[in-house]
Amino acid sequence: MIRFDRVNKSFGDLNVLNGLSFDIAPAERVTLIGPSGSGKTTILRLLMTLEHITPVKHPEENGGVMWVEGEPFSHMDKGGKLVVANERHLRQARQKIGMVFQQFNLFPNMTVMRNVTEAQVHTLKRSKDEAAAKAKELLDLVGLSDKVDNYPSQLSGGQQQRVAIARALAMDPDILLLDEVTSALDPELVADVLGVLRDVASSTNITMLIVTHEMGFARDVSDRIMMFDKGVIVEEGAPEAMFGDPREERTQDFLRAVRSE
Ligand SMILES: Nc1ncnc2c1ncn2[C@@H]1O[C@H](COP(=O)(O)OP(=O)(O)OP(=O)(O)O)[C@@H](O)[C@H]1O
């Protein structure tokens, strides 16, 4: 479903991803863990095409290709120049990917209902009735059927984040990217949001790539945990092994630090 093949990403002189390779299978749930600044969000931003990979100096030694659903987002030509896929392909790929961010990013001047129907109507060209029916179903799923006419400012952070989840699901994504979705929430609101995501994980086949510090949640929903540091995967495995008996010192240190927070 998703393939990174020796992907590099730099910001100026800072090399954030260093020849990173991994595959994610359809319907797989993978959680990225690792210290702040290790490049987790950058991976999600590359998948959203908010960033592009950095070409390498010696392309014969290094691939640097990222794929979603069998189609490359970019490739190197023979001269080592990065060729980004055409905009139509990127748009189609982006449509299959939903993302929920730390900041809820709802449209402040639209009601909850309109937040969930807007992209369905404009991007997927659904009729208003069809979009509203889908929105009702999803707002029910996230426990907000009584808030359809409210504006984001009238909701708690946890409620706003649940609207953002409904909005992402309304686009029928094949892939859902979750970036620290509870980090901006007061502690008492975290459980509701994670509860909704647990339901989504158990009731759909959506492929999920998750960045979170909520280790209990990661353990419950993930098929695989990837420990990430300095732009490479340090260690990966099933949640039981990664949380119960990690092999690498960097993983052990990271988990100890997170647990003592
Ligand atoms: N647009 C940018 N310009 C310059 N540097 C950037 C940019 N985006 C990210 N970085 C840098 O790249 C590194 C990786 O950032 P990234 O946000 O991917 O890390 P992260 O693992 O998600 O961290 P956190 O857990 O704190 O969110 C950081 O050092 C960050 O400062």
pLDDT at 243 over 90: yes
Q: Is the CB of 231 under 6 A from ligand 1?
A: no
Q: Write out pLDDT tens, residues 117-162.
A: 999 999 999 999 999 999 999 999 999 999 999 999 999 999 999 9
Examine residue 149 and state whether it is found in any structural domain, yes or no: yes
Q: What are phi and psi of 119, to 5 degrees?
A: -70, -30
Q: What pLDDT shows up at residue 51?
A: 87
DSSP assigned state of 65 = E
Examine residue 187 and state whether it is found in any structural domain, yes or no: no
Residues 6 or more apart in contact with residue 64 via CB below 8 angstroms: 5, 6, 7, 8, 19, 53, 54, 55, 56, 76, 82
Examine residue 124 and state whether it is found in any structural domain, yes or no: yes
Q: How many Cα neighbours within 13 Å face the side chain of 17?
A: 29
Q: Whose alpha carbon is nearest atom 17 of ligand 1?
A: 41
pTM confidence score = 0.91
C-alpha to C-alpha distance for 17 and 1, rounded to whole angstroms:
20
- Asked if 69 contacts 261 with a C-beta cutoff of 8 angstroms, the reply is no
Q: Is the CB of 203 under 6 A from ligand 1?
A: no
CA of 142 to the centre of ligand 1 (A): 30
Examine residue 152 and state whether it is found in any structural domain, yes or no: yes
Give the DSSP letter string of 172-212: --SEEEEESTTTTS-HHHHHHHHHHHHHHHHH---EEEEE-
Mutate to test the pocket of ligand 1, among 33, 36, 45, 47 (most ligand atoms within 8 A of CB): 36
| Pick from 1-5, 109-113, 171-175: least confident | 1-5
Tally of structural domains, the chain = 1
CA of 138 to the centre of ligand 1 (A): 32
Examine residue 215 and state whether it is found in any structural domain, yes or no: no
Examine residue 164 and state whether it is found in any structural domain, yes or no: yes
Please measure the distance between the N-terminal and C-terminal CA atoms of the chain and give it in whole angstroms: 34
Examine residue 64 and state whether it is found in any structural domain, yes or no: no
Examine residue 38 and state whether it is found in any structural domain, yes or no: no
The domain in which residue 156 lies consists of 101-172
Q: What does the pLDDT average to over 228-256?
A: 94
Q: Is the CB of 41 under 6 A from ligand 1?
A: yes
Q: Write out pLDDT tens, residues 46-74.
A: 988 888 888 766 555 555 666 777 677 77
Q: Is the CB of 20 under 6 A from ligand 1?
A: no
C-alpha to C-alpha distance for 246 and 229, rounded to whole angstroms:
15
Residues 6 or more apart in contact with residue 155 via CB below 8 angstroms: 112, 147, 163
| Pick from 90-94, 164-168, 242-246: least confident | 90-94
